[in-house]
Amino acid sequence: MDSLENKIQKLISSFKGIEPGKILNVIIKHDNGCPALRSHNLSDCTCNPEIITKGENKNGN
């Protein structure tokens, strides 16, 4: 299990390479039973979540 600081660094590193005018959707996939699924608070996370980013152009292309 990563520390909260490591989880935040992992989240921040997923933002690298974003260009101006882009929209970024971030999905954080927790393990079943992780307390963060209920609280929606990363500090409650007891797993090693998968972070998925999806981006698109400002106009949706």
4 pLDDT more than 80: yes
pLDDT of residue 45: 95
pLDDT of residue 61: 42
Which of residues 22 and 44 earns the better pLDDT score? Answer: 44
Model confidence over 23-45: pLDDT tens digits?
Answer: 888 899 999 999 999 999 999 99
Question: Which string of DSSP letters, residue by residue, matches 1-61?
Answer: ---HHHHHHHHHHTTTTPPTTEEEEEEEEPPTT-THHHH--GGG--S--EEEEEEEETT--
Spacing of C-alpha 17 from chain mean position: 15
Structure tokens at 5: 């600081």
60 pLDDT more than 60: no
